[in-house]
Structure 1
Amino acid sequence: MVTPRTRGAEPRRAGRGHRRQVLPLELALWVIVAFAVIVGVVQLAASAAHPDMANALVAFTVVLWIWVVAGVLAWWRRPANGTGPLILLGAVALCLGGLGNLQLPLSDVVSALFATSVFAVTVHLLHAFPSGRLRGRLSVGVVIAGYAAATGLDALRVVAPRAGALISVVQPVLGALVMTATAAILTIRLVISDRRHRRILLPLSAYGIVAVLGIVAAPRLLTGTAASMVGVVQLALMAGLPVAFLLGVVAGSFARTTALESLSAWLAVGGPDKPAVERALRASLGDDSLQVVYWSAQSGSFVDADGVAFLPAAPAGGRAHVPVRVDGRLVGAIDYDTRVTDDPLTVRRAGEILAIAIDRERLTAELTLSNEELIQSRRRLMEAAYAERARIARDLHDGLQVQLVLLALEAQSMADVVAEDTPAAAEHLRAGIDEAATELRRLVHNVMPAPLRERGLVAAVEELVDRAEVPALLSADVDESRVSSAAAHTAYFVIAELLTNAVKHAGATALRVSVALREDRLTVIVEDDGVGDARIGVGAGLRGLHDRVAALEGAVEIVSPRGGGTRVGVELPCV
């Protein structure tokens, strides 16, 4: 049944003849770029009107554009992260602080109000990176103190000029305390971070602290140097700050897609090549350590894709998890790094988009776990069956067979002492007992071959090859101490079945058997020069062989062209 579409309801697709829809974020970023270009052009025009300040205005314009470009790229590459907006905030602070260079009405006042704001924004960036949001009350307090030491005291200097001398003493001291606290907090974070985060945070934090201190201390450190040279050093350090944060965003492998964009693209992918939900979420949220876990009603806990129990980390460890529900039913959770993605709402929304897919993977994980439990159960049953066969064979060999031998000896003794007319009956009795003992030995051998039970796999296979009705060669390279009893017994019965089939059904005139142990897999290969055309399902022998191997989660490969002989390869796990 096809549901009719309402005219005009057909969604527009990007392609030839259609204009691509411009996202609101992209539009806003273009507006920011355009505004920065206008401001830069105005400053360059002012440099022409004031030749004595031309170099300073040009350099300042270049630094401003670097901040804007870095902020736009960081925001465009990682829309859900606050690093890009903070860099642009620094660009605004830098622009306002430099308005005094234009010598316009009130520009000196505005410049005085925001003269050191960019340093407060840099401190904010250092504390907020890489998520773009502040973590912990201590960081919030230090950042607030940074804004107070910069913008607050600058504003107080404008409002109360008489306090200028006191502010000139207090501001450097408070700024030094802010930077000292920032350095201490960042050092603690580096110590407790893992190697990947430390690799990203260390150069960024070190440069940020050194750059801020260097900008403030440059006039004192470069005493006797021309003022223009001091300004160049300060601007160079200032220009490097946004570049460092941008490189930090890029080095963090943060994806350039929003959650809705990347996850919608993921949902559009069909077929077996569709990437896993976990990979889609990692690409969307920019967190390579993100993990999707599934709720198991059987165990009452979360499990990973392999069915292994998962214990969520404590929030203090820098990780958190957001539950995922479908129709109010818990199906899984998303475990993520709060240092990369600090907003749980973003993770929750991403989980809501892929809730159905997560539920599907939960069912897959449960099926995998159930299948593994079934395989282990079948393996235990086979181990128990082989153990029981060994017990029965031992009881028959050591019990009933011994009794029959003793009866045969008694019958022989009776034949020696009875009258002349009864030896025939005694001989007949002894022959019957011998025949029963022979049949019993055959039965014991079929239940559990004595060579396999007493001397091991290689010796038992050697006996099979020696008793073959056609010439056969054997090569064996096996450390039997590493082979489980189930694998050894299965390999023996597989070889016995294949040798019988080759002689009885394939008309083979030569056989080759190879048994080898490679890592944790026992490999058996049986080759013959018979008529070929052997297939699983044609006869009960190969079908039973396949089922026996599959019970141990092994593999069977048959190459049997018609008239070209048969090669059967079997791999069995040894654990």
Structure 2
Amino acid sequence: MGETPVRTSPLARSLHVALVLVAATAALLGGGLFVFGAGEFDWSVQLYLGIYIVYLAVGVTAWWRRPGNRMGTIIIIGSFAVLIAGFGNTSVPTLHAIGAIGATLVLAVLIHLLHAFPSGRLRGAASKTIVIAAYANSVLLQAPSYLFIPDVAPSLHITALPAVATAADLAQSFVGLLITLATALVLARRMHNADHSHRRVLIPLFAYGLFAVLFIPFSSGVLEGLFGVSPTLRGVLQLIMLGGVPIAFVLGMIRGGFSRTAGLTELGSWLGSTGTERSQLNEALSRTVGDPTLEIAYWVDERGTYIDAQGAPVALPAAAERRAAIDIELDGRLICAIIYDTGLIADADSVRAAARLVALALDRARLAAELNASERALADSRERLKRADATRHDGGNSVEALTRRQREVLALIAEGRSNAAIARELVLTEKSVVNHVSRIFDALDLPVEADDHRRVRATVLYLSR
């Protein structure tokens, strides 16, 4: 049966229209600046405009694919940070002043992107503190450069304090380095805790992002001072590195399998569509929350355990793992748990809201899963009976293959005698009886099992020979 189409809701269509308007407005802004200010802009500003368009396109695409994810929003903010930085190279006084104020804002956005990937949300106090410090460093410690040096932005100049401006510049570089090192430590820990498939995506992405954060501000002294690279070439390399950041993030999203999400209204549309199969419930929830690895574990109250749709037992993830589970209830009773990737979804409430919307469908699926579990249990029981019959058939020959003394011991076992009683009957030591009993079990292929009593099974085989 083909996949049931998901109808787009009016809310989602409104969001798409809003995204188109954002993209069109931003493109007009960038295009207008390029066309009307071409005479005032040098090649570097035009290159900044090109990179701005790259950021904008990637941000809108990411936002479109995952409306509930903030990565697209952050990348779009980054596009305007790039544009503002480019204004610093113009000769238009107003634009030049704006560029001076936000010259290093794009570095804070890059730090924000690294900490927020892939969910778009900051997880943990460390990441939140580092990102706030990055924005503060880009805005506050940037101010002395244009307030106290007249040549940077004449319209913003207050008084000449070059020593203060120089000290603030050194402090900004030092604080920026500390922020980058702290970011590297947080990301290293995140990569250490990630599984192999996610680590394969995170390592190159984080490595490129950190290198870009360090390369852009420190390349002037390294490339020009140590290698004699011209300022023009150094500027081009900086912009190329900057332009590769959003591409690296979108490639990371593609390689990580971060699929496009739907909204809750789309989920309701799916639920109300005719011909919908229960097997598509997992897919619908995965699409809604944007986690292709999402799993549903149905609760079986009689057994006190979780099972999957086929009736197989499911173990919920441990607290230290990257995956998490939330319980879903209907009318005060537990019906299932939703297992999701915390790296993709930072907010459990979005998962819970989606699951509650289809709680009735989940409860119906739970009943089907219980039926599958009962059928599995019945099939396992039949298989055990077949193995028992085969063992009984083979056991007749096995009993006959025992030695005379072993058959004597087995006959007394069949009478319910203890090892001590058998020893007295056959005039043996109890240790010898234990050895005989052990060899009998081996010969009859009766391994130690928690659910079986080997002396009883050996008796059955002896009596049925």
Cα distance in 2 between the residues matched to 1:142 and 1:164: 24
Structure 1 residues 369, 31: closer, same or farther in 2, change over 3 A?
same
Contact 2:7 2:269 in 1 (8 A): no
Alignment correspondent of 2:33: 43
In proportion to residue count, which structure has more strand? 1
Q: Which amino acid aligns with 1:356?
A: L
Alignment correspondent of 2:153: none
Contact 1:307 1:366 in 2 (8 A): yes
Alignment correspondent of 2:417: none
Alignment correspondent of 2:22: 32
Structure 1 residues 196, 283: closer, same or farther in 2, change over 3 A?
farther
Alignment correspondent of 1:188: 189
Cα distance in 1 between the residues matched to 2:208 and 2:178: 18
Alignment correspondent of 1:257: 261
Alignment correspondent of 1:276: 280
**1:329 aligned onto 2:330:** no
Structure 1 residues 380, 238: closer, same or farther in 2, change over 3 A?
closer
Alignment correspondent of 2:108: 120
Q: CA deviation at 1:205?
A: 0.7
**1:360 aligned onto 2:360:** no
SS at match of 1:222: helix
Alignment correspondent of 1:566: none
Encode CA deviations 1:514-537: one digit per residue, 9 max, x unaligned: xxxxxxxxxxxxxxxxxxxxxxxx
Contact 2:278 2:365 in 1 (8 A): no
**1:142 aligned onto 2:130:** yes
Structure 1 residues 274, 368: closer, same or farther in 2, change over 3 A?
closer
How many pairs were matched up? 377
SS at match of 1:234: helix
In proportion to residue count, which structure has more helix? 2
Encode CA deviations 1:165-197: one digit per residue, 9 max, x unaligned: 211111111111111111122122222211211
Find 1:133's aligned residue among 91, 99, 121: 121
**1:67 aligned onto 2:55:** yes
Q: Where in structure 2 are there 5+ consecutive unaligned residues?
A: 1-5, 150-160, 396-443, 446-465
Find 1:58's aligned residue among 43, 46, 51: 46
Cα distance in 2 between the residues matched to 1:156 and 1:150: 11
Give TM-score scaled by structure 2 length: 0.73
Contact 2:311 2:371 in 1 (8 A): no
Alignment correspondent of 1:346: 350
Q: CA deviation at 1:139?
A: 1.4
Cα distance in 2 between the residues matched to 1:21 and 1:300: 40
Encode CA deviations 1:119-169: one digit per residue, 9 max, x unaligned: 111111101101111111111122122112212212355556633121111
Give TM-score scaled by structure 1 length: 0.60
Alignment correspondent of 1:541: none
Cα distance in 1 between the residues matched to 2:302 and 2:15: 45
Contact 1:255 1:285 in 2 (8 A): no
Identity of aligned residues (%): 37
1:340-419 matches, within 5 Å, as 340-377=344-381
Runs of 4+ in 1 over 6 A off after TM superposition: 381-391
Structure 1 residues 294, 107: closer, same or farther in 2, change over 3 A?
same
> RMSD of aligned C-alpha atoms?
3.2
Cα distance in 2 between the residues matched to 1:365 and 1:351: 17
Structure 1 residues 103, 316: closer, same or farther in 2, change over 3 A?
farther
1:197-236 matches, within 5 Å, as 197-223=198-224, 224-236=228-240
Structure 1 residues 29, 271: closer, same or farther in 2, change over 3 A?
closer
Cα distance in 2 between the residues matched to 1:386 and 1:75: 62
Q: CA deviation at 1:277?
A: 1.8
Cα distance in 2 between the residues matched to 1:23 and 1:375: 49
Alignment correspondent of 2:169: 168
Cα distance in 1 between the residues matched to 2:394 and 2:203: 65
Contact 2:316 2:339 in 1 (8 A): yes
Structure 1 residues 159, 28: closer, same or farther in 2, change over 3 A?
farther
Q: CA deviation at 1:385?
A: 8.6
Contact 2:63 2:72 in 1 (8 A): yes
SS at match of 1:333: strand
SS at match of 1:49: coil
Q: CA deviation at 1:92?
A: 2.0
Cα distance in 1 between the residues matched to 2:31 and 2:319: 49
Cα distance in 2 between the residues matched to 1:30 and 1:387: 71
**1:89 aligned onto 2:90:** no
Q: Where in structure 1 are there 5+ consecutive unaligned residues?
A: 1-12, 392-480, 483-575
